[in-house]
Every structure is written in C-alpha cells, then in structure tokens.
A = this chain, B = another copy of it.
Amino acid sequence: MEPDLSRLADAIDDRGADGYLFDGHDDSDQTYVCGFDAPDPFIALYDGAGAHLLVSGLEYGRAVSESRADSISRLDEYHYQERAAEDGPRAARLATIAAFLADHDVESVLVPERFPTGTADGLREHGLDISVEREGVITEIRSVKTDEEIEHVRRAQRANEAAMARAEELIEGATVEDGQLVHDGDVLTSERVKEAIEIELLRRGCALDETIVACGANGADPHDRGSGPLEADEAIVIDIFPRDKETGYHADMTRTFVRGTASDELRERYEITHEAHQAALDAVEAGATGADVHDAVCDVYEEAGYATLRDDPSTEIGFIHGTGHGIGLDVHELPRLNPTGGELQAGQIITIEPGLYDPEVGGIRIEDLVVVTENGYENLTEYPKELTM
C-alpha cells in the first residue's frame, strides 16, 4: 500500500518547511507515513517526496524488510556510539538526528503536537527550526482507506464476529437460577464472558485492551466495562473492538442481548434503536456530513419521545453519545459522526452505533462497521441483530 501523501507535501510547502519529522513509536500517523513501527522511539522524516528512517542497529533489518521508507539509516552511520562515549546518550542522539537531517538538506521541520519537547528544544539548540503542525493533516489523510486497508479491517471484523459468537454461545448456553445466568455450575459473569472473547480473539491473531460486557444498570453507562453476574431478562451490551496484531488495524461491533424475556420497555427501545441505526445507514454517503448522519439518529429518537443531547445537552438518559467514529490504525479516528462531523469521503471506514441508556431500564446499543461509498455504504458487518435468545 502506498498512501497518497501529497496533502502532507503541500502542508510542508505552505509552511515553508523542508519536511515533517517524527520521534516516537506506537503513533498511528508515524506508522502510516513509513509503514513501520518499533518497540522504542525512532526517527522518521518525510521530506515531501518520501520517508527516511533513522533507527538503531537492532531495528535496521526489520525496517528494511517491513517499512515503505525510501531510505533507512542506522544511528551508527552518523557516529552515534562515538558521540555517546564522548557526550552521553542524550546529546549523542540529538547530534545524530541533526546530522541525519543535514544529510537530507533539512533545516526546518513540522512536527506533530506530541513530538517530544526534549528533542524539539535540543534540535533548536542545533540551529534547526521546529514548528508544530496543528491541523492534523496526516490524521485526515489516513481517514480515507486504500483497498488494502479495507481488507485489513474486514479481516479484524471476521475475528470480532467469531468472538461475539463465542459470547453469545456462552450466554445462550447458560441456565437461569434465581434470576442469574449459570454456566457449568458457576455464575456467569461479565468477566467470564470477556475472558472467552479475549481467548477467541487471541486465537485469531487479535489483541485488545478492553471489552465491554455490561448488564442491566452497568450497561446504562456507555463507559462502564461491566462486571459481576449476568442477569436473566436484562439487557447485556457487548462491545468488542480488537486490533489485528499483524496489520495493526481495528474492527468494532456492538450487540445487545437479553437472555430470557425482554420487557416491553426493552423491546421498544431495541426496535427504535434498530430504526435509528438504519436511518443513520441510509444517511451515509460521500458528501453527506457526519453531522447529517448524527441528526438522522437524533430525529428518530426524538420523534419517538426519547431524550438526546441535541435536544437537551444536560440529559443523562436517552441517546447520550455521538453516532460513530472513524476506525483504522486507531480504534477512534477521523471522521467524527457527531454535531461537529464534517463531510464524509468515499473510502472512510466508520462505525454506526446509536444507543439508549437509562439506569432504570438498562442500555441498548447496536453498532456496525461500514465503508463510505460514493452512493451509500458497504457494510463490513455480517453478524445478525437479534435481541432475545
């Protein structure tokens, strides 16, 4: 995959700089520009034409085989070890970076907001001009996915669906005793279901930091990860957002289940959320705004008499979050599907996840993952939507 970085080149030109410099790792913008990441901070320069890396000897071989960079230099090509023996590792690193930049005829660079101040101030002492790029142009560029990136997300979503199926299987296979779900003689808890989800994802090459399996009142707080016994006849919100370890791309999906009997109240909220979900999907196409899609959800909920933040910014029940977000190397990235969401572009991958929350009733959320197309969307989610089991 060769991303189109022409807008980054333009941003560098517009600011009269010679390049864009990274000194980090585990940073999706940096990974995107050079097609490489490492366990420790490394230097990446984009000079308007291509990417150039400066890495330790330890990372050199992997950088050569994995990265998209046009050139890869080792610290020692700029005499890092000799400098370190003389002046200590910190001064040596700065002098090495300065020599690398001089070698690429770079005297002034844009850097990301979170570029380390120690490096910025140190390079300024070496006479370099460092200014922060505040518009997030790379984050904007990478919101539009190449076909290869779409395949990466699709693959992560297949693993995600296998994990959701595993969770559903556990809940469906439970018996009900005194209103609690029981599996293999033990009370079935959020923790137990999350463990099964994690193991399934692990088996499929995915990692995840967090999963939500939240029942009843827990599920009424969209940020609650859920804990404790799962109850019959209550809504159980399951939200899984794994990262494929090989590609680094994420998937994201939420389903809500009731084991036993859903009350009329829960059923009604599920139906209206399903309707809001479909209204949002119907609003998705290149040229529509994220705000339009969000409004479509608010329209459905408000017409049905539910509170939304659009209608009442102080409400703590009802539809109390945005409609969705972009996803890719980051689990949350551009575009935004909320009141500030700008124009959607073909190739963006977004979540559509309306929901209703009330501690007295529980939480309901339905989330799919779709690619924006010129005339609508392609849904990457194949998992069915069924409230009761």
Contact = CB atoms under 8 A, between A and B. Distances in A.
Nearest to A203: B195
A301 B116 CA distance: 41
Interface stretch (A67-75, A107-115, A265-273): A107-115
A199 B201 CA distance: 11
Contact of A117 (B117, B195, B199, B207): B117
B118 A116 contact: no
Contacts of A112: 118
A308 to B, nearest CB: 18
Q: Interface size for chain A: under 10, 10 to 19, 20 to 34, or 35 or more residues?
A: 20 to 34
Contacts of A120: 117, 120-121
Contacts of A121: 120, 132
Copies of this subunit: 2
Given A58-B223, A195-B203, A118 B134 contact: yes
A90 B116 CA distance: 17
A312 to B, nearest CB: 16
Contact of A202 (B114, B132, B198): B198
B90 A134 contact: yes
A335 to B, nearest CB: 16
A199 B120 CA distance: 42
B113 A115 contact: no
A130 interface: yes
Contacts of A134: 90, 118
29 contacts: A41-B114, A58-B223, A90-B113, A90-B134, A111-B117, A112-B118, A113-B116, A113-B117, A113-B118, A113-B119, A114-B116, A114-B117, A114-B118, A115-B116, A115-B117, A116-B116, A116-B117, A117-B117, A117-B120, A117-B132, A118-B132, A118-B134, A120-B120, A120-B121, A121-B132, A195-B203, A198-B202, A199-B199, A202-B202
